[in-house]
Structure 1
Amino acid sequence: MNDRKPPTSSALSGIKIVDLTSVIFGPYASLVLADYGAEVIKVESLQGDSTRYTGPAYQEGLSAVFLGANRNKKSIAIDIKTPEGLMILQRLLEDADVFMHSIRPQKLKKLGLDPATLTQHAPGLIYAALLGYGSKGSYSGMPAYDDIIQGLSGIPELMHKQSGAIRYLPIIAADKTCALTAAHAILAALFQRERDGRGQVVEVPMFESMVSYVLLEHLYGRHLADKDLDAGYVRVLSEWRRPYQTTDGHICMMPYTDEHWRRFFTCSGNPGRAEDPKFQSIAARTQNINQLYELTGSIVKAHSTAHWLQFCQEQEIPAARVNTLNELERDPHLQSAGFFSELMDQGHRYRFTGNPVTLSNSKVTVKMPPRLGENTVEILSALGYSNQKINDLCRQHVIKDAGQTTYA
């Protein structure tokens, strides 16, 4: 085709995203988009996103959790509860491609940020509402955080079934999973706009998203609506599903196919088990999963981790050592792939993970997460505000500039 647009340096170059979200759900979603090259303008209160103060820090406002979710972005600090602050946000949205927010629906109309108002003036806008619950459900408007959504979506029960203890996953699983859902939903809306020129309202509810995630495998017998079978995929709920103990540590080993299991039993000196009908097919193994995993554990614990890694390599059985969190930076694959990067900023050395996705025609260099209000002056100047007006807004506590610069 001769009408192709000229190449760009990154996949989302030229896309402007105004991000009025905080904590992890929204910021992780906009991080994905920033890593693809979108200009993400993080709109913060004058106090900043709460994660700016969560965890260790060299400098106040750049704490660990904030660093993890906000690289490659800009920050403008505005009090949108003031008329002048709200006007700044509305002017920012005039040429935005995407507006992301996590404000509960009942507050939107008062601020003039409801979908009907904004999309009426900007028909090409992708309006992304990142919510706890879908607007049509009975929980709509209720507050939601990761722990709440994990509990509602059944995760503590899964933990109890496997371990006997009621607990959450020790990761911010709901926020991060739903963030990825939000990112791909926004990308889908942008792609559709490329074809028909129209924006649209995108609603990403945490509860529904997380239930969809959990039930992909765990709806299980409930898929068969005419049978009264239980939910829960029995293999992953087995109390014996864990890294196998060796004589000197642990190993993750995953014989999966019929051939894997035949090789494992035969070559480990247990040929009789390879012929046992309980273990010869995936259907039979699933029915006898606790016995299978317990038996495997008793075999593995007789030798060292190095022995089993070598064994699995020879038998072409998937296996790996168990990394601690601190060891991940030294993992040979991640090192050779250049997954981690380091930046110097004001005499301090910072370490970041990279975008796990590579696109052959898209390059984005990792940039430091912004200080609170770091880009306030830059953004307001681009909107046509004079230095005097910016200075006045600073004095009136409508905006905050990272440097608190005074303009003549």
Structure 2
Amino acid sequence: MTQLASTGHGPLAGIRILDLSSVVMGPYATQVLGDLGADIIKVESPDGDNMRAVGPMRHPGMGHLYLHLNRNKRSIVLDLKNEAGREACLRLAQSCDVLLYNIRPQAMARLGLSYEAVRARNPRLVYVGAYGFSEAGPYAGRPAYDDLIQGQTGIAHLIQQQSGDVPRYAPLTLADRAVGLHVAIAMVSAVLHARQRGEGQSVEIPMFEGMAHLVLGDHLGGATFEPPLGSTGYARLLAAHRRPYATSDGYICLLIYNDKHWRSFFKLIGRPELAQDPRFCNHTARAQHIDEAYAFLAEVMRTRSSAEWLADLAQADIPSARLYSVDDLIEDPHLRATGFICEQQHPSEGHLRTPAPLGRYTGTPTSIRRPAPRLGEHSREILREAGCTDAEIDALIAARATADISLNKGSI
């Protein structure tokens, strides 16, 4: 079983982030940076991050998604609607490189935590807002969740268009995690600028625009040109038969992509003459007849078993793979061999499995240095680092502005 690293010197060691975000997008961004060595101070309300309540879980407040999203972080409880809590937050910001939040800027201002207020305490601080819609447009301030953003950026409609079924959302928090990576990149980029120039800045990363960037990159299609050269959409991605192919006894995943692949496939099935067929003879022709090409594949793939196809396709050097379930993914021998599935002992939650930090760094290795914290587990520790005395911390606890669970005192 992998042990928690006692120290971490990842590539972002020395960067400190004050994370006021909750749910998935912001916490995922800081989880990525925490894995890379950044010191993440997770500020939680007295009720805690909503994801603490999403099961399955062994103990209240320690749901499975929370555990994955919030490793390599320290938790401090601060009631930001309490004047003492707000002041404590500003005090913490003085020693941080980044402050991340995911509520509307107007709400931050009402809390007394506007960019101007924070900048007055730390001019070098990077102030990052990750929320639904840009403040520059008419949708500013609208509520935004993953399902809504998937729907509003065309993803559910694209799935309907491709499948001929009803509109559906992708079965993962696609918008939160995709835009969360943009948020992580923004934080690192702005910190590099702040350290080079000696001044921070305010940064906005909106979900709607972030996912529109992803969708339109593939599907602008003919609308790329003015006047348009056809309809929107990337035909290959929308082909009805672009899906796992049914074999005689199951399904496999297959992508016959370039000219060499197709020639090899036609030879494999005993139809080498099809390489001269005007529909299939080159990449441009196949793109123009992609529905026919994929329908042909769907018909042929039913003639052999999955095991036969996988062996024959591998021999012909044509890209193919088994169709996995999530359970299969967990047991994948490659992920096991590379150590991607970490098995660890959490101090309160027991034996856990979690994905490892991504990538290999020869000079600054990544690590899981801390398990996901209990609510307010590090309140006293973090406040001491900010220069608060024990008497001041006790006063904050008495004012219900913070809580210190490490000593089982000051519960809110």
> Normalised by the size of structure 2, how large is the TM-score?
0.93
**Alignment match, 2:248:** 247
**Alignment match, 2:375:** 372
**Alignment match, 1:44:** 44
Contact 2:17 2:100 in 1 (8 A): yes
Q: Say what the alpha-carbon RMSD is for the aligned residues.
A: 1.6
- The whole-number CA distance in structure 2 between the counterparts of 1:130 and 1:257 is 39
**Alignment match, 1:331:** 332
1:189 shift after superposition: 1.2
Q: What are the residue-to-residue correspondences of 1:36-115 with 2, within 5 Å?
A: 36-115=36-115
1:67 shift after superposition: 1.3
**Alignment match, 1:160:** 160
- The AA in structure 2 aligned to 1:146 is D
- The whole-number CA distance in structure 2 between the counterparts of 1:231 and 1:349 is 49
**Alignment match, 1:21:** 21
- The whole-number CA distance in structure 1 between the counterparts of 2:316 and 2:207 is 42
- The AA in structure 2 aligned to 1:375 is H
1:59 shift after superposition: 1.3
**Alignment match, 1:391:** 394
Contact 2:99 2:126 in 1 (8 A): yes
1:228 shift after superposition: 5.4
- The whole-number CA distance in structure 2 between the counterparts of 1:191 and 1:264 is 49
1:406 shift after superposition: 4.0
1:183 shift after superposition: 0.7
Q: What are the residue-to-residue correspondences of 1:9-408 with 2, within 5 Å?
A: 9-164=9-164, 165-227=166-228, 229-345=230-346, 346=348, 348-366=350-368, 367-403=370-406, 405-406=408-409
Task: Describe the shift of the 1:271–1:228 C-alpha distance in structure 2 as closer, same or farther (beyond 3 A).
Answer: closer
Provide the aligned length of Structure 1 versus Structure 2. 400
1:397 shift after superposition: 2.1
Contact 1:126 1:190 in 2 (8 A): yes
1:226 shift after superposition: 1.5
Contact 1:391 1:406 in 2 (8 A): no
1:215 shift after superposition: 0.8
1:391 shift after superposition: 3.1
- The whole-number CA distance in structure 2 between the counterparts of 1:247 and 1:116 is 65
Contact 2:54 2:64 in 1 (8 A): yes
Q: Which moved more, 1:98-107 or 1:377-386?
A: 377-386
Task: Describe the shift of the 1:379–1:253 C-alpha distance in structure 2 as closer, same or farther (beyond 3 A).
Answer: same
Contact 2:9 2:365 in 1 (8 A): yes
SS in 2 for 1:130: strand
- The AA in structure 2 aligned to 1:86 is R
Uncovered stretches (5+) of structure 2, i.e. residues with no partner: 1-7
**Alignment match, 2:5:** none
> Normalised by the size of structure 1, how large is the TM-score?
0.94
- The AA in structure 2 aligned to 1:12 is L
Contact 1:9 1:361 in 2 (8 A): no
Uncovered stretches (5+) of structure 1, i.e. residues with no partner: 1-7
- The whole-number CA distance in structure 1 between the counterparts of 2:79 and 2:282 is 62
Tell me the alpha carbon deviations over residues 315-374 of structure 1, each in whole angstroms, 9 at most, x when there is no partner. 111111111101112111111111011111247201110122222112232131111111
Tell me the alpha carbon deviations over residues 116-144 of structure 1, each in whole angstroms, 9 at most, x when there is no partner. 23224322111111121111111111111
- The whole-number CA distance in structure 1 between the counterparts of 2:267 and 2:385 is 71
Contact 2:10 2:367 in 1 (8 A): no
- The whole-number CA distance in structure 2 between the counterparts of 1:119 and 1:357 is 34
Q: Which moved more, 1:54-63 or 1:17-26?
A: 54-63
1:157 shift after superposition: 1.2
1:197 shift after superposition: 2.4
1:229 shift after superposition: 2.1
Higher relative contact order (CA 8 A, sep 6+): 2
- The whole-number CA distance in structure 2 between the counterparts of 1:308 and 1:83 is 67
SS in 1 for 2:374: coil
- The whole-number CA distance in structure 1 between the counterparts of 2:268 and 2:28 is 46
